[in-house]
Amino acid sequence: MNIMPSTGLFPAVDPGAFDAWMLLLRDFGTRSLADVLVPAIEYARVGIPLSHEAIELIKKSAERFRSEWTALAQIYLPNGEIPEPGTLLHMPPLAETYAALLANAKAVSSQREKQIEAARNSFYRGFVAERIGKFVANPSSTEGTLMCEPGLLSAQDLAE
């Protein structure tokens, strides 16, 4: 399972954003975790059409994708080329991550709030945190280098 670091405006798993989304869902929402994650999982698997604006952002980062962020290049530069507007963007690693979060949450409870808390726990104290911590500590050991040097974020940082 791959976890992709955030690349600014490109959709990816951003450690702070996930908790904000889950807290908003828990405290102000009425839908279940499945109600919000299943469509996201499907869009990540099936694809979502890229807008002209998204293509411009990809163009600006294309060389960096090719030289440093090679795993992201596989997503944003299909066949090594800048996609055309309307091309479907597929994000299988994000789909896998969200599907695993949902499965873990469903295994914990059938109650809405408990599932949301279980997803938060899996992200910040479970498999997602472990994967992010491992990647940041040694980015070159991961398939497709996304960072030039190891970072300072650890799994413990996410838990705290």
What's the rounded Cα separation, in Å, for the pair 137 and 153? 8
- When divided into structural domains, the chain yields a total of 1
pLDDT value, residue 140: 60
Q: Quick check: is 149 in a domain?
A: yes
Domain presence at residue 150: yes
- 110 lies in some domain: no
In a domain, 47, yes or no: no
- pLDDT confidence of residue 118: 97
In a domain, 135, yes or no: yes
Instruction: List, for residues 51-78, the tens digit of each pLDDT value.
Output: 999 999 999 999 988 888 787 888 899 8
Which residue range is the domain that position 143 belongs to? 126-160
User: How far apart, in whole angstroms, are the C-alpha atoms of residue 110 and residue 82?
Assistant: 43
Q: In the structure, what pLDDT confidence band is assigned to residue 6 with cuts at 50, 70 and 90?
A: very low
Higher pLDDT, 126 or 137: 126
Better-scored residue on pLDDT, 39 or 159: 39
pLDDT tens digit sequence for 129-158: 888 888 777 766 555 444 445 667 778 888
Residue 159 lies in a domain: yes
Asked if the structure places residue 136 within a domain, the reply is yes
Does 62 fall in a domain? no
Which sign does the torsion angle of CA 6, 93, 71, 61 carry? negative
Identify the pLDDT of residue 141: 52
Cα–Cα distance for residue pair 157/160, rounded to 1 Å: 5
pTM (2 d.p.)? 0.79
